[in-house]
Amino acid sequence: MIQHILINTDEAIDPKIEERIINLLKPEFNLICYNPIRASILHLLIKTKELNHALRVEEIAFKLGKRHSVILHHLEQLKEWNLVRIVKNSKWGNKQKRVIWGLNLKYPRLILNVYVHLLKTFYTIQELERMCNVNLNVRKLNNNKISVSV
């Protein structure tokens, strides 16, 4: 599933260079994947193929039920590993605000390798889906509560 989504990109770099990057990062795959927030972010971005694998920070934070600053922290870490990139900035006063983040489609095989490692070693797709729908689950619970009037 993911291989077909990610490898069909014109942005990809030379496969030999990407293979070297994968081999350099392999020792860090556990560090990348064990964290449930990073795993959830990757899963969300991989699932959003209709948006070219990119989402607004606020949307990621809402779906994961985490603060905006926490999501930005983990996105920055994923960026250091070449897994995500800033897709769009917007002006916020005198500063640039990183608004939309997406998968770094220059490295599709790296993303594929990390995601496969994540699924084999740490989480199932069902667990990732549950972690990525925290606020949706809260809304379902609230809608199912029975109100009693006295």
pLDDT in tens, the chain (150 residues): 555 555 555 667 888 999 999 999 999 999 999 999 999 999 999 999 888 899 999 999 999 999 999 999 999 999 999 999 999 877 777 777 778 999 999 999 999 999 999 999 999 999 999 999 987 654 444 455 544 444
The CA distance from 103 to 115, in Å, is 12
pTM (whole model) above 0.75: yes
Domain contains 146: no
Domain contains 129: yes
pLDDT at 149: 44
Domain count for the chain: 1
Of 91, 78, 19, residue with least CA distance to 45:
78
Domain contains 144: no
Which secondary structure element, helix H or strand E, spans residue 96, and what is its range?
strand 95-103
Range of the domain at 17: 2-137
Domain contains 142: no
The CATH number for 76's domain is 1.10.10.10
Domain contains 52: yes
pLDDT at 60: 95
Domain contains 113: yes
